[in-house]
Chain A
Amino acid sequence: MVHKDMTEKVSIEIKRDLYDKAKKFIEEQGGFSSVEELVEFLLEEVLSSEESEERGLSKEDEEKVKERLRALGYI
């Protein structure tokens, strides 16, 4: 699919102060557009240790990338 976000969303509840801390973290660190995105990322990180595909790169792929980076002198 080119464009549609296929995943249906559900709501979850978290403690307000944790939410505020997460929000502050995002404002200071950048990299995420919302607390929701941060939470999704962290959940995926935890859950995908078994399915490394979800994270994009397998260990093997990452090693290949590093090989190229070394060959080009980036690392």
Chain B
Amino acid sequence: MVSRPHGGRLVDRTVSPKRRERLLEEARELPRIDVNESIAADAANIAHGVYSPLEGFMVQEDYINVLDQMRLSSDLPWTIPIILDVDPEDIVGVKDGDDIALYYRDEPLAIMRIEEIYGWDKKEYAMKVFKTADPNHPGVAKTYKRKELLIGGSIDLLRDPPEPFENIRLWPKETRVLFGTRGWKRIAAFQTRNVPHMGHEYVQKAALTFTDGLFINPLVGWKKPGDYRDEVIVKAYKALIEHYYPKEVVVLSVLRMEMRYAGPREAVHHAIVRKNFGATHFIVGRDHAGVGNYYGPYEAWEIFREFPDLGITPLFVREAFYCKKCGQMVNEKICPHPEEFRIRISGTKLRKMIMSGQKPPEYMMRLEVARVILEHPKPFIEEDEA
């Protein structure tokens, strides 16, 4: 059977059509706070149970617990604070217990009951979440640009933010029904922010060999310059699945959530989120959610030892490479041959090839996947866009 939601119950903070009418009117009378794409995505994720058991943006007690203990105040594992930052002038005259309206792209998105307004120390946040205060780290840099106060409290979502990938965006209540309908009991989830190369395919198929289904769940939303564009990732996966996967054992759907590049802590966050989608197993890559050299290659594996009560099983699949002697994709554990026979597939190397318009060799990337990327005029996010 599919996983129980984190905390036992799938949160639903969406409103019925009838209530929506009334609340929309109410929202127009309330103090207004405009939120950006990432916060709007978080609000939708809260309301649709992606972040169960959270019913709103974190209050201070949970915020501090998550920073210090990697757990909510209820002791449930939780590693990345889900917070809403505001400028003091945004909330002049607003106090604890008040309702406010969150607006996104000039439309009311949600009503929030403010439980608490509190200050935060961004440097402390950076040190604890990212293990560095270095502003060259993309997640840290983004944190330093955030606003000075945090507001915590439950939300009621009035509408979903606009989603360009609507027809491949599923919420947890939908994936749960879907997995159930397909009769899957063991479901391996794969997190990604990349186009698939042969190494990814190997890891996914290794996991699929001893589970019933594979849930490929790429992140769409804010990423750093140099990362692949969302539509390229989606098209590349569609091509891979169409040509190389049995369709009845794979589900591809996107999740709008910003990348934080928080390495080990983010790996656990990614696992919890996929547990809420119903996955029973979560594939954790080498240097999962890492960036640069901020995290050790296996730190994202080691952190899972601290969470025996996570409720989703991490799968530590070793990195795959092509071995000329074995004549196939293998990993450290199953190939006895020395380094000279091994061809490593690095994302960086692939990126360079693609940037220069070169087609990667087929042992690195499927032809159909490479074609999708090379056909795109600008497959990467550029410096001034992020």
User: A residues within 8 Å of B by Cβ?
Assistant: 1-5, 29-34, 37, 40-41, 56-57, 61-62, 65-66, 68-69, 72, 74-75
Identity of the chain B residue whose Cβ is nearest the Cβ of A73 in the assembled complex: B167
Cβ–Cβ < 8 Å partners of A66 in chain B? 177, 181
Question: 5 A-B residue contacts at CB 8 Å?
Answer: A30-B186, A31-B280, A56-B12, A68-B174, A75-B181
Cβ–Cβ < 8 Å partners of A37 in chain B? 4, 8, 311
Q: Once bound together, how far apart are the Cα atoms of A57 and B180, in whole Å?
A: 13
Nearest Cβ in chain A — how far from B167, in angstroms? 6
Q: Once bound together, how far apart are the Cα atoms of A54 and B8, in whole Å?
A: 11
CB <8 Å contact, B174 and A29: no
Q: Once bound together, how far apart are the Cα atoms of A75 and B53, in whole Å?
A: 28
The listed residue (A1, A32, A68, A74) touching B4 by CB distance below 8 A is A32
User: B residues within 8 Å of A by Cβ?
Assistant: 1-4, 7-10, 12, 53-56, 58-59, 61-62, 72-74, 76, 115, 152-154, 167-168, 170, 173-174, 177-178, 181-182, 185-186, 251, 280-281, 308-313
Cβ–Cβ < 8 Å partners of B74 in chain A? 3-5
CB <8 Å contact, B173 and A2: no
Nearest Cβ in chain B — how far from A65, in angstroms? 5
**Majority DSSP secondary structure for residues of A touching B:** loop
CB <8 Å contact, A2 and B152: yes
Nearest Cβ in chain B — how far from A25, in angstroms? 11
Nearest Cβ in chain A — how far from B221, in angstroms? 20
Total number of A-B contacts with CB less than 8 angstroms?
Answer: 84
Identity of the chain B residue whose Cβ is nearest the Cβ of A27 in the assembled complex: B313
**Majority DSSP secondary structure for residues of B touching A:** loop
The listed residue (A29, A32, A57, A65) touching B186 by CB distance below 8 A is A29
Most chain A beta-carbon contacts within 10 A, residue among B8, B9, B309, B312: B8
Nearest Cβ in chain A — how far from B47, in angstroms? 13
CB <8 Å contact, A3 and B61: yes
CB <8 Å contact, A74 and B61: no
Nearest Cβ in chain B — how far from A28, in angstroms? 9
The listed residue (A3, A65, A69, A75) touching B72 by CB distance below 8 A is A3
CB <8 Å contact, A4 and B280: no
Cβ–Cβ < 8 Å partners of B53 in chain A? 3
Known: A5-B74, A56-B12. A30 touches B313 (CB 8 A): yes
Known: A32-B4, A32-B311. A2 touches B154 (CB 8 A): yes
CB <8 Å contact, A30 and B181: no
Q: Once bound together, how far apart are the Cα atoms of A40 and B74, in whole Å?
A: 18
Q: Once bound together, how far apart are the Cα atoms of A31 and B212, in whole Å?
A: 13
